[in-house]
Amino acid sequence: MLDRLQELHDEAMVRVAEASTLQELNDVRVAYLGKKGAITEVMKGMGKLTPEERPIVGEKANVVRQSVGRLIEEKEQTLQEAAIREQLNKESIDVTLPGRDVQAGGRHPLTSVVETIEDVFIGMGFQVAEGPEVETDYYNFESLNLPKHHPARDMQDTFFITPELLLRTQTSPVQTRTMEKHEGKGPVKIICPGKVYRRDEDDATHSHQFMQIEGLVVGEGIRMSDLKGIFEKFVANYFGPERKIRLRPSFFPFTEPSAELDISCAICHGEGCRTCKQTGWIEVLGSGMVHPNVLRMGGFDPEKYSGFAFGMGVERFAMLKYGIDDIRHFYTNDTRFLSQFTQE
């Protein structure tokens, strides 16, 4: 039995040395030290020994068990370390490699123009109001002095969803909604930026979706001179103090009287050029004194209150500012166009 134990010990030593994976090593452990392992089996046979033999064989068996156990433990550690080393090698990062370029986005040019215009008006005490793009016929037309069948209410130009629901054609519905909230008490001093929709054929100067900013001031004793004063400040701030302004008579169903605002052309300084179509002036917005019907429908008494309003197309402002010749550039999202504005 002593020889058998020694034999098993030497055999196990070889197999431990040969094991190259943790799985193989575990197989060796089971084969020799497991419940049915070879060494365990020998020890089970010790009952048949004489009382003199038993302690000698017992001691040898323990020595062999411990020795094999230690060998397996040592090998296990070696294999584990090797496994970790291999994993580390596989996952190693070359910190000297150049990094991948991250393409950072930027503000859309229309967004920066809207924000700049907002800032100018906020500086004059205006608040910014927003509202839904899907509107009712009432807010988009009726409340703005455009009753059904009014000639200025060209059905051809509106995207209808149902006979009563439509995509707003201007941001004025936000203004009438705001007037309603004030419940007939002034002052109201807001600008309303947002997307609007018209059934236009898209070309260099028309887009079926565009950005508008409208403004509304309602209070006691608001006059046309207040409108002109606000425009003087706005133009000086946005386009520069050297620009001249002029008001030109116009017509809108929701304002009376109505006026168009022109600024002097910065390219030819009034001499006449392509940008100003040889007039020396560039049209920037439409405006007027709020029609009494519109005040009334917004819940204000036109005998007590008056107001002015204006509306401008943001794309036009951006095109003038950056010298862009086609409105479609704002909506085709060509990064060669957009990336020119990422610093804005």
Contacting positions for ligand 2NL (CB under 6 A): 172, 175-176, 212, 214, 216, 252, 254-255, 286-288, 290, 294, 309-313
Nearer to ligand 2NL, 263 or 309 (CB): 309
Closer by beta carbon to ligand 2NL, 170 or else 264: 170
126 or 310: CB nearest ligand 2NL: 310
Confirm if 327 and 205 have CB atoms less than 8 A apart: yes
- Least Å from the CB of residue 165 to ligand 2NL: 20
CA 344/CA 327 separation, integer angstroms? 19
Tell me which residue of 263, 310, 309 sits closest to 286, measured CA to CA. 310
CA-based end-to-end distance of the chain: 90
Q: Where are the beta strands (DSSP E) in 158-305?
A: 165-167, 188-197, 209-219, 245-252, 255-264, 281-290
Task: Name the DSSP class of 28.
Answer: H
Look at the alpha carbons of 199, 205, 209, 210 in this order and tell me if their dihedral is positive or negative: negative
Judged by beta carbon, residue 32 or residue 231, the one nearer ligand 2NL is 231
Measured from the CB of residue 212, what is the shortest distance to ligand 2NL in angstroms? 6
Q: How many other C-beta atoms are found inside a 10 Å radius of the C-beta of residue 106?
A: 14
What is the rounded distance in angstroms from the CA atom of residue 218 to the CA atom of residue 193? 18
CB of 99 to ligand 2NL, least distance (A): 46
Closer of 32 and 317 to ligand 2NL (Cβ): 317
- Going by the DSSP 8-state scheme, the letter that residue 205 receives in this structure is S
- Yes or no: say if 176 and 149 are a contact pair by the CB < 8 Å rule: no
- The nearest distance, CB 137 to ligand 2NL, in angstroms, is 16
Distance between CA atoms of 21 and 83, rounded to whole angstroms?
9
Say if residue 256 carries a ligand binding annotation. yes
* Nearer CB in complex with ligand 2NL: 140/264: 140
User: Which residue's C-beta sits nearest to ligand 2NL?
Assistant: 311
Q: What are the b/e assignments for 128-158, b being 16+ CB within 10 Å?
A: ebebeeebbbebbbbbbbbeeeeeebeeeeb
Least distance to ligand 2NL, CB of residue 179, Å: 7
